[in-house]
Structure 1
């Protein structure tokens, strides 16, 4: 089995303890040589400054290629592009451009009066700067706001046509879900890379809640397996096995890149990577 290229998603710390946790996560996963790592934006843009600071710090001190999340929520066009310019001046050349989730207490996205109306407008503006490689989100299960799956495919194509270079999918539980989506995208004329998003499940209750909120289908066998594993105290073992099998199935189906949602808890992600044969690279000259 060939080894895929990998990337990792982190979220910005809100406390001193969380800052140490993020740095421990980076140190654990950096030796696996990811092609990039990304730092998220909180719902409603709540971690805008934290994201900016975390991106700048990681870019300066980690030696990793860092991608910054950027959303349209609760900011004018000028404010959003000023944030992008801040990233560029810090040396960051990769952005994950997203519409963003509604602020807490709101059930749908409402554009800022002077802001971008959609992720497509944001992507077009970023592409015009010619300063960034742009990644976007994709949904292999139907987005909660989409009319149907074909609407998700059409919207992804529009984002890629607007200037994005690559798509990162929401997480899913079965490889066939991704393959079905990939085939639909190819049929629609999409020829840019679509990278599957992988969630190693640290906490089943939290993962289940998140899956339901974002429209990710939970197969009955996954639900039953985790219910039993939680009772038996073997949740981590099951999570590692399921995630490794999912990644293996994807690789066998032609996938050459994987994007892991780490939740700043690196152990399961590291263990899955090890199981796939992705291990820290040793400099033989230094060992000799």
Structure 2
């Protein structure tokens, strides 16, 4: 099979054109592909498939390094847009894509960045899903014998957001996996550790479910900005500093769409036999 290695802010992906070739991957094969020593190595595997509705141009599937399938990936979406343009699958500047978390639109901009319509955030606990009596901007949760305060947001995939004093010293390695599999998140959760620098600037590290910490997480950046606004800490436009680089997130609140802008690049092409 032919594949392309891509990255968005160091969040790296193996991308397969599943339109012009048959791509059927078992969880074992997905784990092999993602392995950085024995396989190709990546944070996630992306499949570019034919559209499943008249309202979209393509369908987009995302798999974690543990072989599990997830609903959405913001950095992957930008790589998806760059991939279909580079491979001649589309010549449009606006690409409509169906995902497991809903339809999204991708805009290829003149500066080489990709702007993504990430849709509206989901805040109702049962839809995230998160076990809670009612919707709140902040929830108390018991983890490892301590009570933490988190924001709970879905961007098509579930996120928990914690405020920290310094992202460098944040307990990502311990609280990340503990929260990821917490019983109050029935489908597990991505965990963001956010430091607010100013109303328009944050630092963020993200522990992604099924993968671990990554250099960048687009949906995590969106969820962090939503949570920060709901707490009254952030304005509509926010620059998010991630270990792999910066994203710009804009949200006007309520049911309005989140816009995510950032780079995406091709690293190399290859062929692999499984």
TM-score after normalising by structure 1? 0.28
More strand by share: 2
Flag the structure with larger Rg. 1
